[in-house]
Amino acid sequence: MPSPFPGMDPYLENAKLWPAFQHQLLACLYQILLPGLVDRYRARVGARTYVSEMPLFTSIIREEYTEEFIEIRTRTDNKLITLLEVVSPANKTTPAGRQTYLDKRKEAVSQRAAIVEIDLLMQGKPTLTYSRDGLPEFDHAVSVTRASAADRYEIYTATIQKRLPKFKLPLAPDDRDALLDLQAAFARAYDLGGFTTLIEYKNPPPPDVPLTDAQKTWINELLKQSKMR
């Protein structure tokens, strides 16, 4: 059964659900991307692990995080061509998560690789800073930087009321971009993860999701129409 939301489902920002969803989404993006890559490239799903420490009264809470990402490299010399990341809550809410994420991005920039960032989270502080002048209001974004212009962003946006965008994923400068449909990847990930049975839509969205009153009203009406509430 598909998600009742036309695009990103804010219920997936639940801390217990997110790791499984992020894993499924990366796997689905990989599966969609792979058939379109010419023999010149190979793609792989990599992972990083780190520990975040948060003070709590007189003790320190330590949490271990594992985050996956996709790398596209050339077959001949293993050169990194494109890094694709799906931002996690820890990247936006913890110092260790943010620094680890930015370090990986800095490493990709130093190798003159293109970078694609998919941010489907409303919570936390954005990992990238850029002007929103000329952009519509949005809740979610895909940010693309090309190897030739690491300080410029191509932004694809969406709100919770709209489907997720298609976006161009850069390859080598002398090759055409790959076109990825983020909504198709999301729908497949949601289905494969069985999230309909894991989410209790009769309850409000996770409290960490900073929804406006208008968005809360829209969600309530949507779920009533979908007979989820």
Q: CA 78, CA 74: separation in Å to the nearest integer?
A: 5
In a domain, 122, yes or no: yes
In a domain, 3, yes or no: no
Q: CA 37, CA 73: separation in Å to the nearest integer?
A: 11
In a domain, 205, yes or no: yes
The confidence score (pLDDT) of residue 58 equals 73
In a domain, 2, yes or no: no
Q: CA 48, CA 95: separation in Å to the nearest integer?
A: 16
Terminal Cα-to-Cα distance of the chain (whole angstroms): 16
Domain extent, residue 200, equals 10-225
By DSSP bridging, strand 149-158 and strand 178-181 are unpaired
pLDDT in tens, 121-180: 999 999 998 888 888 999 999 999 999 888 899 999 999 999 999 999 999 999 999 999
In a domain, 93, yes or no: yes
pLDDT in tens, 34-80: 998 989 999 999 999 999 887 777 778 888 999 999 999 999 999 99
In a domain, 154, yes or no: yes
In a domain, 1, yes or no: no
DSSP letter for 169, please.
Answer: E
Query: Around Cβ 136, how many Cβ atoms within 10 Å?
Result: 10
How many domains, in total, are found in the chain?
Answer: 1
In sequence order, what are the residues at sequence separation of 6 or more whose Cβ sits closer than 8 angstroms to the Cβ of residue 54?
60, 61, 63, 94
Reported pTM: 0.94
Q: CA 141, CA 120: separation in Å to the nearest integer?
A: 7
pLDDT in tens, 86-125: 999 999 999 999 999 999 999 999 999 999 999 999 999 9
In a domain, 128, yes or no: yes
